[in-house]
Amino acid sequence: METRTGGLSSVASDRATFFRQSGWLMVVNLVTGVVMLGVHFLAKWIPPSEYATAVTLLTLTMLIPAIPLQMVVAQQTAADLALDRLRVLSGKIRGLWGWLTLAWAVGATVVVVLEPFLSRRLSIANPASIWVTLLLMLGCLWMPVVWGMLQGAQNFLWLGISMLANAVVRVGSAVLLVWFWRREATSIMTAALLGVGASVLLGLWQSRALWTGPAEPLAARALLRQTLPLFLGFGVTLFLFSADTVFVKWWFPEQTAWYASAGTLARGLIWLVGPLAAVMFPKVVRSTVRAEDGNLLTVTLVSTAVLVGVAGLGLCLVGPWLIRFVYTPAYVQPTMEILPWYAAAMIPLALANVLVNHLLARTDYRVVPWLVGLAVLYVAGLLAFHASPIQILHVLAVACSVMFGLCWWFVKRPLPVPGQVTVPEVM
């Protein structure tokens, strides 16, 4: 009886910790979301074409696989800390930074060469916004590494503070730069660069114990084999989350401002419930590595479904007021035509994200090839059906629903050999 009571007490304590940590990150996401809306208030001060350019460039930075990268680092950090392999972890982090910086340098060179074409095709008036975006992309490559270390170490307090710093510095700088410098996209992108820089510096300081000590040499090939499925799996989630705005900018440049405003609000649903999966992930990694019983999937999935459903309905109800408050009255009618469809697409994506986190945390990679195939079919669907921005959202909603169905199928069919899920040592 004591053992049973102790077990129930441990489960209750784990769930209390889970809700406390995820609650903190949800508060952080809510506050940062509200603060980040301050950037979109600037749509009242700058021309619609410059606002559309800023949103498009910010969306391009979202296409950097920041979420997959963060989750890879979180998984490696959680696993190595659970197995007391700090020297191995330090080598991975420092080696990863070096490779990411080299990849950025190659990509930046390509963008410099293609700048005239990109400026013309994306209707960018001032090329300076592209140069600032390049520096921002470097920060966006470093930031998920820092956040991944904090997440994997379950240092959710400083993870949240680092996220807050990004939002506060970004919005404060944007207001000052737009008001006193230039009323164009370059100011908004410069502010984003300053926010990311502040976030990275804070995170580096708080995670210094994980990457400053003695380190084992990085076995790059072994690490790539181990983490590529994670990268691809989370990459598909990110692609479905963000790629549509770029397609709309390409095909419907005159409607991008309305579409981007609807997307900003609808994506808030993912940011609201994302902390539940983010907190669950390193706990599942830890319990898997140590062969412990720690399944939080049911409580995470149910909580996500309830929150995203209620929030989605509320967003559609208060949408006209919120749009008028953040933007201008001219945005209300065209944005509200898009917003319900956008919110409907984000709901299955939020649920699929929980399942993806669960599967990949347990190194159950069977779903990954299917997700990659789904991403290819999603692009094919967009190329075939893009008569209007709303039709693009129809394609997105179908893709997100199929993603949820695929992940559910594999969750209900566990790996055939118990105990075969391991995290191999990378030396």
Is residue 423 situated within a structural domain?
no
**Angstrom distance (rounded) from CA 405 to CA 118:** 37
CA angle, 195 as apex, 81 and 46 as ends, to 5°? 150
**Higher confidence at residue 175 or residue 404?**
404
* The amino acid at 206: Q
By percentage, how much of the chain surpasses pLDDT 90?
Answer: 17
Burial (Cβ within 10 Å: 0-12, 13-18, ≥19) of residue 196 = buried
For the residues of 299-342, what is the DSSP string, one character each? Answer: HHHHHHHHHHHHHHHHHHHHHHHHHHHHS-GGGHHHHHHHHHHH
How confident is residue 41, by pLDDT bands cut at 50, 70 and 90? low
Q: How many domains does the chain have?
A: 1
Per DSSP, the three-state class of 96 is helix
Instruction: Tell me the range of 74-88, 255-269, 369-383 where mean pLDDT is highest.
Output: 369-383
Average pLDDT over residues 303-315: 86
Max alpha carbon distance in the chain (Å)? 74
- State yes or no: pLDDT of 200 exceeds 90: yes
| Alpha carbon distances (Å) from 82 to 91, 215, 243, 297, 382 | 16, 17, 36, 20, 43
Q: Looking at the domain assignment, is residue 426 inside a domain?
A: no
Model confidence at 149, in pLDDT bands (50, 70, 90)?
A: very high
Cα distances (angstroms) measured from residue 278 to each of 79, 106, 361: 15, 31, 11
pLDDT at residue 419 above 60? no
Instruction: Dig out the tokens for 307 from the structure.
Output: 């929150």
Rounded CA separation 141/70 (Å) = 9
Does residue 49 lie within any of the structural domains? yes
Query: Is residue 417 included in any domain, yes or no?
Result: no
Q: How confident is the model at residue 37 (pLDDT cuts 50, 70, 90)?
A: low
- What single-letter amino acid sits at 271? W
Say what the pLDDT of residue 342 is.
86
DSSP string of 388-425? Answer: SHHHHHHHHHHHHHHHHHHHHHHHTS--SSTT------
Q: Could you tell me if residue 122 is inside a domain?
A: yes
Higher local confidence (pLDDT), 137 or 291: 137
Question: Is residue 421 included in any domain, yes or no?
Answer: no
Window from 57-61, 88-92, 124-128, 197-201 with minimum mean pLDDT: 124-128
In one letter, which amino acid is 370? W
The domain in which residue 295 lies consists of: 8-411
Q: How far apart are CA 238 and CA 65, in angstroms?
A: 7
> What is the structure's pLDDT at 212?
86
pLDDT value at residue 291: 60
**Tens digits of per-residue pLDDT, 316-355?**
887 778 777 766 677 777 777 788 888 888 899 999 999 9
Residue at 419 is within a domain: no
Question: Would you place residue 398 in the very low, low, confident or very high pLDDT band (cuts 50, 70, 90)?
Answer: very high
What are the residues whose beta carbons fall under 8 Å from the beta carbon of 35, sequence distance 6 or more? 164, 167, 168, 171
Segment 143-153 shows an average pLDDT of: 91
Amino acid 10: pLDDT: 53
pLDDT per residue as tens digits for the range 213-258:
887 877 777 777 777 888 888 888 888 887 787 778 778 777 777 7
For residue 416, being part of any structural domain is answered with: no
pLDDT at 9 over 70: no
**pLDDT, position 421:** 41
Specify the pTM: 0.70
Q: Which residue has the higher pLDDT, 33 or 132?
A: 132
Determine the pLDDT at residue 314. 84
State the average pLDDT for the chain.
80
Categorize the per-residue pLDDT at 423 as very low, low, confident or very high, splitting at 50, 70 and 90.
Answer: very low
**Res. 369: pLDDT tops 70:** yes
